[in-house]
Structure 1
């Protein structure tokens, strides 16, 4: 059998080959005693990301039930591992007097820079230039998107970062606190977005992180809740995934966005993982 690496020489990697290799990596990840950053953990997830960004024609909607179960498990494992990696690095950065000057030490920093630039361009092209107030739901211990947006793209915007994990918010705030100007524009709120109601109406733009709502049912509930309370005509930017990237993150389809006007859907073909779905709350 040809290897996945050999198959990259062809235009598309065969779906069967890709799934078989992903299932092998999933089995290896399941055997790990811990998902905390280590040489073995980092190697397995790096292999996985490289596989899932190869060109392929895979459509996760049509995967057999056993592969769908594996995919759901893999998304959960990826989310857990990502959280541990971010927490370790954010805690490490707080040891520096100026942690914001060392963000590039984070392994995926360049990826976030590309994604934030892409997202700002999509917002700009749809008439969103310098929003007054932005919410980021699921900001985590390394709120890189908010930081990059606030320092490079939205230099007068106020950001509220929502996360369910108090420890994540605490360490994220420690990183921001080293910059008085940035701290004045960036707040951290520990809560479940499903418990935030009228406040959602304050924001011009709401970002929904890819791992908020780990399965279709949860994601639909969260989208419905945000739509109910956000302002009429407000903008929601939803991170999704496409093709084999759907083994790493949940997928949001256009059909999931009832009550929204879809403005833009962008699927990357480079090393950026997340698709960007931009919608506007319909005005009744």
Structure 2
């Protein structure tokens, strides 16, 4: 771990230069005709991720207004590009035999495996072992977290995957439908999570994907809604970002979660981009 940290420190550049480079990449990405995977799209986003991954001590809140606005636009562009990349790969997987055995063809599969392993370890350390029923909000066309967790970690858990996009759910359903046993534990529900109410009380644990609620206001609205309807003592796992990684994903901080009992906050320093915040709804 120490050597990883050192290599990141060595690869850091001054904050002014980092911001200038991010703004440059944002300008190039904004000019693209399409965000669908292509040599140019892949190259620009790879550069962006490499640039933002080292553990900079930058605080997004301290940045000038112009940079804040650029960041908000960049997060939306990253979200769209990520969705299109997942859609393309999920469609490709559905054309080959045994898609569930070929998930490793997805370029960031290794990151999902690491993140799922990390999140399950954090859950376990906080007493959440083999929850009966879990919800994943924002599962997308490639529901990798749910699949990796269901296969490798939570082997008896039932997963409900929520996504606002029916097309994404249809592609995901077809991947899972190739394994009868697996399909029994994995459901896909389409709709806006803000319209889901009593059903949220069924889950022992709810995962909130990083790109659900791209602005701070939207993210907090969703978190407040989930808290209102989830069961007392239920667990919510929120993905966030820290430092320069906040140019890629929205940020949720401890003080945003004062209505919960904060159990754990973890900021990775390797190629896993997302921070993990684990909270519990208090029992009154």
Per the shorter chain, which TM-score range?
Answer: over 0.9
Q: Would you say 1:70 and 2:46 are equivalent positions?
A: no
| TM-fit CA distance, 1:168 | 0.2
SS of the residue aligned with 1:13? coil
Q: Deviations over 1:218-258 (max 9, x none)?
A: 01110000000000000000000000000000000111113
Whole-angstrom distance in 1 between the partners of 2:9 and 2:206:
40
Is residue 13–residue 54 contact of structure 1 (8 Å, CA) maintained in 2? no
Q: 5+ residue gaps in structure 1?
A: 1-6
Aligned length: 278
TM (norm. structure 2) is: 0.96
Q: Deviations over 1:146-200 (max 9, x none)?
A: 0000000000000000000000000000000000111000000001000000000
For 2:223, the equivalent position in structure 1 comes to 223
TM (norm. structure 1) is: 0.96
Q: Would you say 1:59 and 2:97 are equivalent positions?
A: no
Whole-angstrom distance in 2 between the partners of 1:73 and 1:184:
39
Is residue 11–residue 54 contact of structure 2 (8 Å, CA) maintained in 1? no
Whole-angstrom distance in 1 between the partners of 2:165 and 2:35:
18
| TM-fit CA distance, 1:59 | 0.7
Whole-angstrom distance in 1 between the partners of 2:234 and 2:26:
39
Whole-angstrom distance in 1 between the partners of 2:48 and 2:250:
15
For 1:28, the equivalent position in structure 2 comes to 28
Whole-angstrom distance in 2 between the partners of 1:258 and 1:222:
15
Pairing 1:71-110 to 2, within 5 Å after superposition: 71-110=71-110
Pairing 1:127-276 to 2, within 5 Å after superposition: 127-276=127-276
Is residue 9–residue 54 contact of structure 2 (8 Å, CA) maintained in 1? no
| TM-fit CA distance, 1:260 | 0.5
| TM-fit CA distance, 1:55 | 3.1
For 2:4, the equivalent position in structure 1 comes to none
Whole-angstrom distance in 2 between the partners of 1:234 and 1:15:
40
SS of the residue aligned with 1:262? strand
Pairing 1:42-53 to 2, within 5 Å after superposition: 42-53=42-53
Change (3 A) 1:31 1:223: same
Whole-angstrom distance in 2 between the partners of 1:8 and 1:71:
22
Whole-angstrom distance in 1 between the partners of 2:66 and 2:270:
29
| TM-fit CA distance, 1:11 | 7.0
Is residue 173–residue 188 contact of structure 2 (8 Å, CA) maintained in 1? yes
SS of the residue aligned with 2:102? helix
SS of the residue aligned with 1:276? strand
| TM-fit CA distance, 1:10 | 3.8
Q: 5+ residue gaps in structure 2?
A: 1-6
Is residue 9–residue 55 contact of structure 2 (8 Å, CA) maintained in 1? no
Is residue 90–residue 142 contact of structure 2 (8 Å, CA) maintained in 1? yes
Whole-angstrom distance in 1 between the partners of 2:241 and 2:155:
28
Whole-angstrom distance in 1 between the partners of 2:11 and 2:20:
19
For 2:3, the equivalent position in structure 1 comes to none
